[in-house]
Amino acid sequence: MFSNAGIGGGGSFVGGSREEWERVFAIGWWGAYYCARVFLPLLIASGDGVLVNTSVGRHRHGGERLPLPRPAAR
């Protein structure tokens, strides 16, 4: 099972409000959590399967237009 949770928003890490960032984090974290809570028992019962969760990536670099690190392997 693959789940992806996240929204845009959050504004600037420095200038954005705490409420904006709490909403971004809440949807990213709780969205992935609730998907896993629903489907993990089914995957365990099936004896097979994989659970992959992704979440909003905006909080990794604070919403600023910063260069992201290059992957180690190209």
pLDDT score at 35: 87
Taking the mean position of all CA atoms in its chain, how far away is CA 41? 21
Q: Is 48 exposed, middle or buried (0-12, 13-18, 19+ CB in 10 A)?
A: exposed
Angle (CA) 16 18 22, round 5°:
115
32-64 pLDDT, tens digit per residue, is: 888 889 988 999 999 988 888 877 655 444 455
What is the band of 67 on the pLDDT scale with cuts at 50, 70, 90? low
H or E element that contains 38: helix 18-46
Other CB atoms within 10 A of residue 28 CB: 22
Q: What pLDDT is stored for residue 71 in this prediction?
A: 55
